[in-house]
Structure 1
Amino acid sequence: MATLNDQLRRRQLILDRLHLAQRTQGWAARKAKVSRSMVCHVIAGRKKHVGVQHILALVCNMTYHELWED
């Protein structure tokens, strides 16, 4: 399980990369066909959703395993 610092670092990385790609959490939610709150929960590490995780990994230009290694 990831430490709190790792989770916060991953959360900030995802939010920064979304901003750089000029994408929003709403955009990720529409692509994954889920609610925006589900995207928020996945980014915060409270829930897991493979579709959302894959879309966020693509936006971050990382592989699924690099981003969600825990």
Structure 2
Amino acid sequence: MEEEILKRMKVQEEKIDQIYRSVEKTRKYFLWTLLATIIMFILPFLGIIVAIPWFIGVMSSTYGGMM
């Protein structure tokens, strides 16, 4: 009886280790997805922050003489 319990515990431990590895892979996948999403949002946002003042400067210098 005790031998069977030890065998089941061993099998259970192996399954828990497999689950842990799977969870770690999933966690890393979500982390990289989050980082990629942040980068894909922040970089264009910074580009807009730089482009809008430049665009306003160009437009005001172009149409500034007409007014």
TM-score normalised by the chain length of structure 2: 0.29
Mark the structure with the bigger radius of gyration. 2
TM-score normalised by the chain length of structure 1: 0.28
Higher relative contact order (CA 8 A, sep 6+): 1
Hey, which of these two has a bigger chunk of helix by percent? 2
